Amino acid sequence: MTNPFDLTGQTALVTGTSRGLGQYLARALAQAGADLILTSRRRDDLLPFAAEIESLGRKVIPLALDVRDQHSIATMAEAAIAQAGQIHILVNNAGCNVRKPAFDVTWDDWNLILDTNLRGSFFVAQHIARHMADRGFGRIINIGSVTSVFGYAGLAPYGASRGGIRQLTMSLADDWGQHGITVNCLAPGWFETAQNRVMYQDKEWVDYLIDRIPLKRPGEPHDLDGAVVFLASELSRYITGQTLLVDGGISTGAMRATVKPKP
């Protein structure tokens, strides 16, 4: 029986793969058989991870990309299509955050986060979707967050950007479905990353977090493997415009905590 999760013969472009969850998402797709196009602001930062993926027997194309720069997006898309021939899957993962009380957020903070997380994701998708539409097939997976559906103090611009990703996903799904392109949002809950690692060094905060999660632990990177492969696979062919939360259940009861964080 053919494995419906097999991505052999397909090429996936994953943005923001020099570190963090982007590498785990890309690795999961490679393990399912996909060849990869990896991007980061500095191409050299991709080379160690590219070598790892090549050791799995996959083709890898590392490319420089600054999602805040229109010319960089166009140049990357042109190079990716020229070198890969076809792109079947796009994972819009590149993102950033500035964690501050809302009173302290600056104009530049807002622009950095929204330009990276929301505007960058749209224009990368636009360039790659044109190529997908010409072939009548594509899987676009936008990376959101539990903040796509819940608000958290200290994350106002980040939450706005991720909420925008959820809405953008629905709009693009309606726009591009006629071209055979599905667009979905994969929304992780609380996972330790380079951006938030300092928070995980505070035991009281971690205990507070765990108390709010029904499965009683933060996310581990491999917890995203099944979701990203599923959304890239043939099995998701009739699913579009949806947000899939991978959050251990925190979105079912955000107010259930009994342990209070430090003020």
* Residues classed as catalytic: 158
The mean per-residue pLDDT over the stretch 28-41 comes to 98
Per-residue pLDDT tens digits for 118-149: 999 999 999 999 999 999 999 999 999 998 88
> What is residue 8's three-state secondary structure?
coil
Q: List the domains of the chain with CATH numbers.
A: 11-197+220-252 (3.40.50.720)
Contact 245, 251 (CB under 8 A): yes
Contacts for 192 with CB less than 8 Å, ≥ 6 apart? 200, 218, 219
H or E segment to which residue 91 belongs: strand 89-92
d(CA 90, CA 51): 21
Inform me whether the pLDDT recorded for 255 exceeds 60: no
d(CA 239, CA 185): 11
Inform me whether the pLDDT recorded for 256 exceeds 60: no
Specify the pTM: 0.93
Distances in Å between the alpha carbon of 232 and those of 8, 45, 86? 12, 25, 15
